[in-house]
Amino acid sequence: MAGLIKAEDVAQVKERSSIEDVVREHVTLRSAGPGSLKGLCPFHDEKSPSFNVRPATGAWHCFGCGEGGDVISFVQRVEHLTFAEAVERLAGKLGMELRYEEGGGPRSGEGLGKRSRLVEAHRVAAEFYSAALLNLPEARPGRDFLRERGFDRMAADKFGVGFSPRGGEELTKHLRDKGFSDDEIVAAGLAGRGRGLYDRFRGRLMWPIRDITGDVVGFGARRLFDDDRIEAKYLNTSETTIYKKSFVLYGLDMAKKAIAKDRQAVVVEGYTDVMACHLAGIETAVATCGTAFGLEHIKVLRRIMRDENDLAPAKVVFTFDGDAAGQKAAMRAFGEDQRWASQSFVAVEASGKDPCELRQAGGDAAIRALIEDAVPMFEFAVRTTIARFDLANAEGRVRALEAVAPIVAGIRDRSLRPEYTRTVAGWLGVEVEQVASEVGRATRMAARAASTAPATASGAPATATGSATGSATATSPSATDSRAHAIDTEYGSGQGHEQDHEPGPDDGGEHGDEHAFEMARPDLRDPVVSAERQLLQAALQFPSLIDPAHFDAIAPESFSAPAHRAVHDAIRAAGGIEAASQPGHWADRVSEAAALTVRPLVSELAVASVPARFDKATGLPEPRYVNGLLIRMQEVPLIRQIGDAISAMRRVPPDDTDASRELGVHLQELQRELANLQSRQD
C-alpha cells in the first residue's frame, strides 16, 4: 500500500491551488462584496445563492446547508474523492509531483490514485480511438458517416471523435502496453471479461464523454456495421466509479463558459446535434448521455448559468425530435420546469428534423433560427396536450380544457395566468370565463392536495412527481428553513466534517465543553456579540491588520458568546495572530486546531462578508475599523470591572477608610486604563 502524502506537499498543494479557479469549474461565481464571491451551492438545491468563496483565505462556506472548508475538501465533496485522491487530483493539475511517507514514494502505478488511473486510461483510449479513425482502413465507414453529416476532419478533431477497431482486443493490448492492469481496464468500463479480456466497444464510431472539468470519463459509441452483434444504434459506457450518466452532460466542458456568459443553455438529444450546434455558433449546446434529462442535470446547469431568483431570468432551450418520442421527452422536461428559476423554451423544427439534419439541409443559419424561434415550454405543453383531443365536438373541448387547466394553474408567475387563460380559450374555441373557472378549480384542488400530502423532511408538503404544479420547494427548504438548518449545522453537530477528523489531545480539552457550545447560539442582535463576531472574521480573513499584542491582550472571558470564545481558543491554539504570517492557509490551521463542533463556525467566519469600508488601493478594510473592534473587545471587561469597583465602594462601611482608599485607587487605575484604551481610537 502506498504511503501517506507528505504533510508539506499537502500544504503546498493547498497553497498553490486557486480555490476560485477550482470552484469555477463547477459553479459560476459573482461578486458578493470586497474579496468575496457567491453562487448556487453544488451540495444542495437552492434558488438564491448562499455558497460563498473568499479567495484570499482559500475558504468556502454555504450558509444554506452549513458545509464549508478548503480547496481540498471542496474537491473531495464535489467529485466524491478520498482526501488523498483530491490532493493527487489538484497536484496533477499543478504539474506537481507528490512525495509519500514510508519509503519515499508509492509503488509503480499507484501514484495517481484509483480515480486518476481510470481517468488516465480513458485519456489514452480517446487518443487511441482518434488515431484509429484517421489511420485505419476499416474506419472508412466512420469517416463517411461524419462526412455525410457535414463534419470534416477539423470537426472530428475538435470533438475528439474516434473509431474502435473491430478485432476486439486492440485497445486492451494498447492499454496493457501503457502499464494498465486488467483490473483497471475492466473497472474503467473499457473492456469486459470472458475467457480473457475483450474490448467493450468494437467497430463503432466513438465520442469521448468528458466531465465538467474536461476529463474523459466515458464513451458514446454509434453502430456502423450491419453485422454488429449488438443491435442498439448507440452504446454508452456502463456506469463506473468515474462515470455517472445522470450527472454528465455531453459537451458541457466546451459549453460551460458560453453558458455562464450568455446565461443560456441549449439541450439537444444527441452527440451529432451538439457538434452541429457548436459549429453553427450555438456554443451553449449540451446533450444527455443515454438517459433522460433529469434533476441532477438541472442542478449542474443551474449552477453554471446562475439560475437565481434575484437575477433576470436565464433561458433554457430544449430541442426535441418532432416524433412521439420527442413529444414525450418534452412533456417529461415540462414536468421538471418548476425546478428552474429561468424560463424554459422548446424548439421543434416543423418537418421534424434534428439539429444535425437541419444543418445539413439549411446550413448554420437554419440552426440559429431554430433556437431563436423557440416557443415557451408552457405553450408547447398546452398545444401538445390539446392535440390529443378532438376539438370538433363539445366533449373533446371539455376534456381538453380539463387536461390543460392544471398546466395554466401551475404557472409560477401568477401575473401571466390571465393572459394565458385568454390564449388557451382561443386555442380551444371556448369562452374565457369557462377557462378561468376551470383554472380556478384546478388551483383549489392543487392547494387541497398540498395541504393533505405527507410532509417531507424539510417540513413542506410533498407534491406529485412530474406534476405541472410541482415546485422545487416541495423537496427543498424555504429560505427561512434553510437559514434555520444552517444555524443548527453551524453551531451544532458539525455534520460533514467529522468523518475526516481523528480525535486528538485537544478535543474536549482546552476548547471547553463541546455540548455546552452546541446549545449556545450567538445572538447577533446584541452589539457586543456582533462586535465579537466581526473581530473574529477580521482575525481569520485579514490577520495582517491586527496587532498581535492587542489581540493577545483579550481575555477569553471577554467573549460573551461561548461559540465565539471557542473560535478565539482555536486561534490561540493555532499559534495566535502571529502564526498567520506562516505559509499555508491561516483559516485552515485554525480549523484544524478547533474542536469538531467549532469547525463549521470557523468555516463560516472565514468567508462571511465583513461590514466595513474597504480601502480601494489595498482591497482591505480600513485599519480604523479593525482597531475599533479591538478596542471594543478590551473595553467590555474594563467597563465591567469599573462597575464592580463602584459597587464595592458603595458597600464599604463609612468608618473603613483603608478599604475605601484601596478601592478608590483601584478604580482610578481602571478608569485611566479605559481612557488610554479609548485614546487609541483617536
Contact criterion met (CB below 8 Å) for 200 and 240:
no
For domain 7-104, the CATH superfamily is Zinc finger, CHC2-typedomain (3.90.580.10)
As a whole number, mean pLDDT of residues 353-362 equals 93
pLDDT tens per residue, range 286-343: 999 988 888 889 889 988 988 887 778 889 999 976 666 666 776 677 767 767 777 7
Nearest in space to 474 (alpha carbons), one of 339, 334, 316:
339
pLDDT, tens digit, for every residue of 373-385? 998 888 888 888 8
Parallel, antiparallel or unpaired: strands 216-223 and 204-210: antiparallel
Rounded to an integer, what distance in angstroms lies between the CA atom of residue 73 and that of residue 419? 49
Q: What is the pLDDT of residues 10-30, one digit of tens each?
A: 888 988 899 999 999 899 999
Residues in contact with 673: Cβ distance below 8 Å, sequence separation at least 6, in sequence order: 638
pTM over 0.75: no
The overall average pLDDT reported for the chain is 81
Q: Which of residues 496 and 18 earns the better pLDDT score?
A: 18
For the cut 80, the answer to whether the pLDDT of residue 244 exceeds it is yes
Give the pLDDT confidence of 224-241 residue by residue, as tens digits: 999 988 888 999 999 998
Dig out the grid coordinates for 20 from the structure.
476560485
Under 8 Å CB-to-CB from 100, ≥6 apart: which residues? Answer: 2, 3, 4, 5, 6, 106, 111
Asked if pLDDT for residue 491 goes beyond 80, the answer is no
* 480 has a pLDDT exceeding 80: no
Q: Which three cell numbers stand for residue 601?
A: 463556525
The CATH code that applies to domain 252-382 is 3.40.1360.10
Report domain 113-236's class. Answer: alpha beta
**Parallel, antiparallel, or unpaired for β 264-268 and 234-236?**
unpaired
Residue 463 has pLDDT above 50, yes or no: no
